[in-house]
Amino acid sequence: MPTTELILIRHGETDWNRELRFQGHIDVPLNDMGHEQARRLGLRLAGESVQYLVSSDLMRAQQTAAPAAQQLELAIATTVTLREQNFGVVEGMRAEEIQTLHPRAWEDWLQFREDHAMPEGESARQFHGRIIDALGSIATAHSGQSVLVVTHGGVLDMVWRTARGLGLNGPRQSEIPNAGFNRIRLADASAPDRIEIVDWADTRHLDDLPAQPTYDQRRHLKK
């Protein structure tokens, strides 16, 4: 079976990234820095041989995909399956607000268990299943091709954990910068959890831009 290559991109920066808010499914646009990151990413991707471009349907992902689509002369297909994890009632909030308004949910979240979900939200296990199914669908439909996938940080975390065999418990461990370049390969569309990482968190195209806001789940853990 032909190997399918996926170039995975986390969307560019938003104001809520800068404020370290839980964005989830809320449709937040890129800020000025995010648009510049997307422009540079488009130039970086201009030399790639890509046959298909698919994006999360959320605005921040589509706006990130737009310059690349222009460079590659491809239409942007969209899908809800590539959305960020659903954080339910805490979407739009910062950690401090969640601690105040939903203290029990916050304490449970700090355990980073795969079956925990914020109220009305999606657990890591549910989220992981959705993302792996989405990758399998892409690989099946575009077997042997190179596909550009513009999505979200949590999605890339699910990919990293799967490729490294880390499981879903515990805080995020990989670097996932806004508009970073990541390349993976799927040798078998029927086994989309067998992922080979080729490149990860490459931000050379963003080198002279200001430092990005860093979302580190481990910073919340008690010492």
Q: Helix axis angle, 124-141 relative to 153-164, nearest 10°?
A: 80
Q: Is 84 a catalytic residue?
A: yes
- 178, 34 in Cβ contact below 8 A? yes
Q: Is 10 helix (H, G, I), strand (E, B) or coil?
A: strand
Which tokens is 214 given? 């860093």
Which residue of the set 11, 128, 152, 205 is catalytic? 11
Options 5, 13, 25, 84, the catalytic residue: 84
Which tokens sit at 156? 């890339």
11 is catalytic: yes
Strand order from edge to edge, sheet including 146-151: 77-79, 52-56, 146-151, 4-10, 181-186, 195-202
Residues with catalytic function? 11, 84
